[in-house]
């Protein structure tokens, strides 16, 4: 397909409150369909329509944008190579990958998310661009657009959030919860965490079960640690990362013989998520008490708040990602609003915070 581009769309009067959307796809048909869809919504504005990542980067220098709809499979600069450059040029815009490559393999999806894309959506095949798909696409665009506009308006988090006291005892377990934007945050966190840190680590990331093995590979590359999908009855090993499977909550419990082992729970969670962060945090609070350390990274919704409250009640510690570095400040923002966080930091600084907590005696 030719890399045809259009110039930035002229802004109508009174459009300042609209979410501005850029479409980047080498298919003229996809560009036309997406342009019509966005243009028909009163609260959305078509900022630009480009046929290549190169043209998109050039246009972004003069065109403010909130959300970029990005294909991955394009001639010239591919979407994966473009993600970091587009994010740097359009900050604080969010990228929603809309690509057939997300259908063909979880690895493409997780790579895009690890590079900083906020969310992904499979490009519809012929006959699938129905009302349900349109509604899902528009819902994602609106969510990410609101996030970008809040960050741009510097109203993402309180100037002086209420924080709890730092940990008074060293942690014996590290439990991490994340959702939308969490893959990128996890990469940043584990990239900054020393490999030799002798702490068992649990990860609950909202993903389907078909993505579990791809997530293991992603975290193994990012962390340099042993990573596995959790099964029932596994002993917790220092330095190892256990990932919640996509069809069950990852929890821990003290076994009859004494050591703490993993369990899989398929009971519906309060948040409606499977896997859910709440049961993981609640079980860590019960098994480790004040020695539990929970981390909440970027994500949509409120999953983790109930479990974090249990950790705090048991004397443990909760650290949340700050708004400026979050793709979506839903889950960590809910932690902050509930007064449960001891610190609000970007992922790399959370890693340093964990290291410092290990030195507490």
Annotation marks residue 303 as catalytic: yes
Structure tokens at 183: 């893959």
Contact between 317 and 293 under an 8 Å Cβ cutoff? The reply is yes
Radius of gyration of the chain (CA): 21
Catalytic position from the list 206, 276, 278, 298: 206
Q: What does DSSP say about strands 260-265 and 249-254: parallel, antiparallel, or unpaired?
A: antiparallel
For residue 220 the two structure tokens come to 């193994």
Question: In this predicted structure, what is the pLDDT of residue 159?
Answer: 56
184 is catalytic: no
Our CA dihedral for 333, 334, 336, 337, rounded to 10 degrees, sits at 110
298 and 327 in contact (C-beta within 8 Å)? yes
- What one-character-per-residue DSSP string does 175-228 give? EEEE-TTHHHHHHHHHHHS-TT----EEEEE---GGGHHHHHHHHHHHH-S-EE
Cα–Cα dist 287/292, whole Å: 8
User: Which residues face 299 on adjacent strands?
Assistant: 329
Q: What are the pLDDT tens digits along the chain (361 aa)?
A: 344 444 455 544 444 789 999 999 999 999 999 999 999 999 999 999 999 999 999 999 999 999 999 999 999 999 999 999 999 999 999 999 999 887 666 888 999 999 999 999 988 877 778 899 999 999 999 999 999 998 887 655 555 678 999 888 999 999 999 999 999 999 999 999 999 899 999 999 999 898 999 999 999 999 999 999 999 999 999 999 999 999 999 999 998 777 899 999 999 999 999 999 999 999 999 999 999 999 999 999 999 999 999 999 999 999 999 998 999 999 999 999 999 999 999 999 999 999 999 988 6
pTM for the complete prediction?
0.89
Query: Which one from 66, 265, 278, 303 is the annotated catalytic residue?
Result: 303
- Secondary structure of residue 261 in the 3-state scheme: strand
Handedness of CA 138, 107, 246, 324 (dihedral sign): negative
Active site residue 179: yes
Task: Kindly name the residue from 52, 114, 179, 212 that is annotated as catalytic.
Answer: 179
- Burial of residue 92 (CB within 10 Å: 0-12, 13-18, 19+) is middle
Angle (CA) 228-232-235 rounded to 5° is: 70
pLDDT score recorded for residue 105: 64
Name all domains of the chain by residue range, CATH numbers in brackets.
Answer: 19-152 (3.40.50.2300), 173-358 (3.40.50.180)
Polymer length in residues for the chain: 361
pLDDT the model gives residue 45: 97
């Amino acid at each position: 397909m030719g890399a045809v581009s259009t110039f930035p769309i002229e802004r109508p009067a009174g459009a300042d409150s609209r979410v501005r959307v850029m479409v980047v796809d080498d298919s003229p048909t996809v560009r036309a369909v997406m342009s019509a869809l966005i243009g028909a919504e009163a609260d959305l504005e078509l900022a630009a329509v480009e046929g290549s990542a190169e043209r998109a980067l050039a246009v972004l220098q003069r065109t403010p944008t909130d959300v970029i709809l990005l294909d991955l499979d394009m001639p010239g600069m591919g979407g994966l190579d473009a993600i970091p450059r587009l994010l740097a040029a359009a900050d604080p815009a969010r990228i929603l990958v809309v690509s057939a490559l997300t259908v063909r393999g979880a690895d493409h999806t997780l790579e895009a998310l690890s590079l900083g894309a906020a969310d992904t959506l499979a490009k519809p095949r012929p006959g699938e661009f129905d009302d349900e798909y349109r509604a899902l696409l528009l819902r994602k665009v609106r969510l990410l657009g609101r996030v970008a506009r809040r960050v741009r308006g510097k109203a993402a988090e309180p100037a002086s959030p209420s924080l709890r006291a730092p940990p008074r005892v060293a942690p014996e377990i590290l439990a991490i919860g994340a959702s939308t934007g969490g893959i990128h945050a996890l990469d940043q966190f584990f990239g900054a965490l020393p490999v030799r840190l002798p702490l068992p680590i649990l990860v609950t990331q909202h993903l389907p079960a078909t993505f579990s093995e791809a997530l293991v590979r992603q975290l193994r590359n990012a962390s340099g640690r042993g990573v596995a999908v959790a099964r029932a009855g596994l002993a917790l090993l220092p330095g190892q990362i256990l990932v919640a499977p996509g069809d069950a909550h990852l929890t821990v419990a003290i076994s009859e013989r004494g050591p703490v082992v993993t369990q899989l729970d398929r009971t519906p969670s309060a948040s409606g998520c499977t896997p859910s962060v709440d049961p993981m945090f609640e079980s860590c609070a019960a098994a480790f008490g004040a020695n539990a350390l929970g981390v909440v990274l970027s994500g949509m919704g409120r999953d983790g708040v109930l479990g974090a409250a249990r950790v705090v009640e048991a004397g443990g510690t909760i650290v949340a990602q700050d708004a400026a570095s979050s793709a979506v400040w839903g889950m960590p923002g809910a932690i902050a609003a509930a007064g449960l966080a001891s610190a609000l930091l970007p992922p790399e600084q959370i890693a340093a915070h964990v290291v410092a907590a290990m030195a507490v005696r």
